[in-house]
Amino acid sequence: QAAPLKLKFGNDLPATHTVNLRLKEAIEAIGAETKGQLTISLFPNNQLGSDTDMMTQLRSGALELATMPSTVLSTLIPAASLTGVGFAFTNYDKVWAAMDGEVGKYIRGSIEKVGLVPFEAMWDNGFRQITSSTHPISSPEDLKNFKIRVPVVPLWVALFSAFGAAPVSIPLNEAYSALQTKIADGQENPLALIESAKFYEVQKYCSLTNHSWDGFWLLSSQRIWKTVPKELQEVMQKHFNAAARKQRDDIVQANAEYRKNLESKGLAFNETKADAFQAALAKTSFYKDAKTKFGDEAWTLLQKYAGNIG
Amino acid sequence: MQIADEIGVVPPRMTGVAGALQKAEQWLGSAIAAAAALLVVAEIVVLFTGVSARYFFQRPLIWSDELAGILFLWLAMLGAVVAFQRGEHMRMTALVGKLDPRKRAFFDVLAIAAPLAFLVLVLEPAYEFASDEAFVSTPALDISNLWRAAALPIGLGLMLLVALFRMLSSGQWRLTATAVALVAVVGAAFYALSPLLIPLGNLNLLIFFVGLVAVMVFAAVPIAFAFGLATFAYITLTTSTPSTVVIGRMDEGMSHLILLSVPLFVFLGLLIEMTGMARAMVAFLASLLGHVRGGLQYVLVAAMYLVSGISGAKAADMAAVAPVLFPEMIERGAKPGDLVALLSATGAQTETIPPSLVLITIGSVTGVSIAALFTGGLLPGLVLAIMLCFVVWQRYRKEDLSHVKRASWGEVGSTFLVALPAVALPFVIRFAVVGGVATATEVSTIGIVYAALAGLLFYRRFDWRRLYPMLTETAALSGAILLIIGAATGMAWALTQSGFSTALASFMTGLPGGAPMFLAVTIIAFVVLGSVLEGIPAIVLFGPLLFPIAKQVGVHEVHYAMVVILAMGIGLFAPPFGVGYYAACAISRIHPDEGIKPMLGYVLALLIGTIVIAAVPWFSIGLLH
Ligand code: NA
Ligand code: NA
């Protein structure tokens, strides 16, 4: 009998995030089914490094498993950010049809080319929403000259610039202070992060813009993966893919709770109409530029699920 | 700054081959120093442009941070090369200093031979790491990440070159051969023993990160290289992890943009001194407090308390205070060792004062309100300040001030007027941060522009010839500090991936004795963890594991956070392993050996203070509603 295989699993999410809760379950199930032949240790909260660095660790084989947001992955694989095109997916039905369908397949193909192994089912990070300390964002005009802290993801910088906003680049761990001192008027993130980073303590409004959707790919290192026995690979695939599908439902439920919780802590919520934003965006060169960037093949696939966005 | 050279070993002038090598080394050194100086200027320009575009023109530049980050890694690496050439990487010579000069000379050569081994070992992984990064593009500028990552192999390669030059040009052939042989034999022995080490599992953590690190630190191997060698040895000999991870972690450790405020505050400090602002400010404080025993020491404690509310990064706080106060304090007879010890102690003392990055980190990994932590941290910082001031009073109460005349109120007034633009500087900086003009990283550039203008227009003192040495000094200093932080980050990773944290947490859960016992063990554990894990990693790793337990035994989370932070701070700022202590030494240009003895009293005061905070929850939660 071979020595038990030990793998490290890292990510940048709080230990209590739905992703990590489901991962813990899956890891236990894998341990039980393989009778201790495979033990996986989960390192949440950036413990093994930032997403960017974990991506490097994965490629070199220093880290065996990780969940990686598309946005970070896109610095290595441009196609990965296809899912984050502003106001492309307007609901979860479209998202999962695309990601479990041809868009997902197309992106997985690109991921495999760079020494990484993607698991089939993608995990949910959630639609992104805007918080603000000055005014609620209810129409595209509200974004004019709005100083918004955005992760430096070219697609999102372009999105907010197209609306005439002023995107500001500030590291996430300094965002709280920057919002408190009003260096930025607002920021945008999924509700789970707005809650865990405590932005509600320094913001007044939360506008449900759903302006972009992002998910996590569960990745393994090719250097490691090819040394893992086939039957263990299959056990991992079975449990991780199943866990991802459960986590998608978790997020939908959790979002309702996050909203209730954030409201009780003083954030004023407002809903917005995606059509108005999409139409305003279509008047700019945003979609045209994105199409040039991703190429015709990818764009056609995206439109198949997202509809004719321009 | 007269103490600087003690740290470096200035080789005698050589002739023949050694002389030619010495010339080549000097030439290489000045070329690198010039590039590093240019990078400091570039950083100031880029960040100030970024602030101006965002605040004054309402058009933020999305790429300014990224460009600053790329330049910063180059600055850190080239600065580390300059520091290496000048022999300015921090080392602990408390033990070897007691040896006779001939034996001591051996350890001075060893301090080059051990880094040389590290550099030889990591050069290939560094090259591999950088070539892998070529495929990643930077988000804002959309250029290959090789532009950034290349700084690592090039910086390490240049350091290797400098190390070789320094060894060969020393002329001490026998010492050099012995030192190299010793390093090679120890390395080979570890390599040969590795089949026996692997089955030991987490015991290796003790062998490498306690045993090996301690031996190297006390043998006066520069701290950064001691950490680096231990980490590299652990990773390659006891795990199957590729060694490129050491480089990757160094990269990330050195790349936190907030650390950029360290060189900029250092430069600001030099600028304040050069323009005469420091003198004016200290003259005013001296006229006000000069007749009080330990007066300027109290000013130091108060200044750290105030400044600490600005940047959130401790090394930056120290860089903002020490260069202004120290030269004058030393001139007035204060012992350098006592000053650096007090500075390091205030570093630990002010960890809880908002907007500390440690507080923000605790808030985001444990779910405690950051606003509550910001409020809760004010009094514990004050309690510890009082403890430190008590030690200052104890130490200086017999100070002979018979030669000091108490200044009249008229003198106080006139020195105040002269000092006004200088005294206003901290307020300008504070306003810029609180008023949302600049981030903590950027605000130093506002200070630099302000100080330059005040020097040129008000004090009419601006010695252009000193500018270049000031820039290279800034670069070397930053390189020395950042290399330690980078190496410590690698060490923290190696500890983290071993999974030892879960074992420790379950041990702490099983303890009898309720809250008092739990708090006592927390203090001991975090003093140790803060020392070996370099602060924030300790929080990230243990926060989520221990905060729920604290709740279970009935300790308020904010209260627990304060105890954890203060204990961690003591570990971080106490010699011989605390990274913060070496940062304090580097910033104040005082040799680490000098501060160790005076540090004992301050550490004791901090420890008693921490116990008081642990015993009296009111200090942490009394201000919360
Ligand atoms: Na602080
Ligand atoms: Na340390």
Q: Which residue of A has its CA nearest to B441?
A: A174
pLDDT beyond 60 at B199: yes
- As a whole number, mean pLDDT of residues A275-298 equals 94
Query: Which of A64, A172, A176, A221 is best to mutate for the B interface (most B CBs within 10 A)?
Result: A176
Render B371-438 in DSSP notation, one character per residue: HHHHHHTHHHHHHHHHHHHHHHHHHHTT---TTPPPPPHHHHHHHHHHHHHHHHHHHHHHHHHHTTSS
Chain B residues with CB under 8 Å of A167 CB are 60, 62
CB-based burial of residue B196 (10 Å sphere; 0-12 exposed, 13-18 middle, 19+ buried)? exposed
Share of chain B above pLDDT 90, in %: 48
Neighbours of B124 (CB within 10 A): 13
**B551 inside domain:** no
For residue range B413-472, list pLDDT tens digits in order: 998 999 898 888 878 887 888 888 988 778 889 989 999 999 999 888 888 998 999 999
pLDDT beyond 60 at B10: no
For residue range A18-77, list pLDDT tens digits in order: 999 999 999 999 999 999 899 999 999 888 989 999 999 999 999 999 999 998 999 999
Share of chain A above pLDDT 90, in %: 87
Render B30-83 in DSSP notation, one character per residue: HHHHHHHHHHHHHHHHHHHHHHIIIIISS---TTHHHHHHHHHHHHHHHHHHHH
CB-CB: which of B135, B434, B544 is closest to A15?
A: B544
Higher pLDDT, B313 or A110: A110
What is Dmax (Cα atoms) for chain B?
Answer: 77
Q: Lowest-confidence range among B65-69, B90-94, B137-141? A: B90-94
Distance from CA of B59 to the nearest CA of A (A): 6
| Residue A227 forms contact with B (CB below 8 Å) | no
Check residue B310 and give its pLDDT. Answer: 64
Ligand nearest to the CA of B534: 2
Check residue B7 and give its pLDDT. Answer: 37
Check residue B1 and give its pLDDT. Answer: 26
What's the B59 CA to ligand 2 centre distance in angstroms? 41
Check residue A1 and give its pLDDT. Answer: 57
pLDDT beyond 70 at A223: yes
**B264 inside domain:** no
Check residue B311 and give its pLDDT. Answer: 60
pLDDT beyond 90 at A205: yes
Chain A residues with CB under 8 Å of B244 CB are 56, 60, 62
Check residue A31 and give its pLDDT. Answer: 96
Ligand nearest to the CA of B490: 2
What's the A108 CA to ligand 1 centre distance in angstroms? 44
Contact B439 A183 (CB under 8 A): yes
The range of the structural domain enclosing residue B222 comes to: 17-257
**B457 inside domain:** no
Contact (Cβ atoms closer than 8 angstroms) between residue B526 and residue B562: no
**B606 inside domain:** no
CB-based burial of residue A53 (10 Å sphere; 0-12 exposed, 13-18 middle, 19+ buried)? buried
Q: Lowest-confidence range among A190-204, B35-49, B265-279, B603-617? A: B265-279
Contact (Cβ atoms closer than 8 angstroms) between residue B225 and residue B89: yes
pLDDT beyond 90 at B317: no
- Of B158, B179, B178, which is closest to residue B111 (Cα–Cα)? B179
What's the B613 CA to ligand 2 centre distance in angstroms? 24
Contact (Cβ atoms closer than 8 angstroms) between residue B97 and residue B164: no
Query: Which of A177, A199, A203 is best to mutate for the B interface (most B CBs within 10 A)?
Result: A177
Ligand nearest to the CA of B314: 1
Domain count, chain B: 1
Contact A198 B370 (CB under 8 A): yes
Is the Cα dihedral B115, B120, B121, B127 positive or negative?
positive
pLDDT beyond 90 at B387: yes
Chain B residues with CB under 8 Å of A152 CB are 62, 65-66, 139-140
**B418 inside domain:** no
Q: Lowest-confidence range among A125-134, A165-174, A204-213, B299-308? A: B299-308
Share of chain A above pLDDT 70, in %: 99
Most confident of the following: A240-249, B4-13, B211-220: A240-249
Check residue A218 and give its pLDDT. Answer: 98
Contact (Cβ atoms closer than 8 angstroms) between residue B333 and residue B401: no
**B368 inside domain:** no
Neighbours of A5 (CB within 10 A): 17
Contact (Cβ atoms closer than 8 angstroms) between residue A268 and residue A129: no
What's the B494 CA to ligand 2 centre distance in angstroms? 13
Contact B244 A170 (CB under 8 A): no
Confidence of residue B513 (pLDDT cuts 50, 70, 90): confident
**B121 inside domain:** yes
Chain B residues with CB under 8 Å of A157 CB are 62, 140
Distance from CA of A5 to the nearest CA of B (A): 12
Query: Which of B497, B502, B529, B547 is best to mutate for the A interface (most A CBs within 10 A)?
Result: B497
- Phi then psi for residue B178, to 5 deg, are -65, -45
Higher pLDDT, A138 or B9: A138
H/E run at residue A46:
none
Look up residue A158 and give its two tokens.
């372009």
